[in-house]
Amino acid sequence: MVNVEASVCLIDKACIPCMGGIPPLDSAATNKLLAEVGHGWKINEAGHLFKEYKFDDCMGPIAFANRIAELAEAEAHHPDITIAWGKCSIEIWTHKISGLTESDFILAAKIEGIN
């Protein structure tokens, strides 16, 4: 029997709010999902999903951050967004468990979809 869930792309899934009480993803699951997201996303020193986007001006990062904010509201999953001239950095993790869940990778994939 085919696992239907495995054939669904991250971008097509919805973020699921974490109520706590679950363990963060292990390194094998994290590495698999990181490879699926691709596009330069990394795990930073804090163990969070991270990417920095580059722009040629000041308004590009601001407009991009606003699109991410709209997406975050729709998904009820909110990343840390840092804006500076020519760049917008995104850091994602599930605060309730101080670690990563599949929803973090879903949000990263959806952010890639609006870039």
Q: Which pLDDT tens digit goes with each residue over 8-20?
A: 798 888 888 777 7
pLDDT tens-digit profile of 50-74?
A: 999 999 999 999 999 999 999 999 9
Confidence of residue 48 (pLDDT cuts 50, 70, 90): very high
pTM of structure: 0.88
Helix/strand/coil percent split, the chain, to 5: 45, 20, 35
Q: Is residue 80 classed as helix, strand or coil in its secondary structure?
A: strand
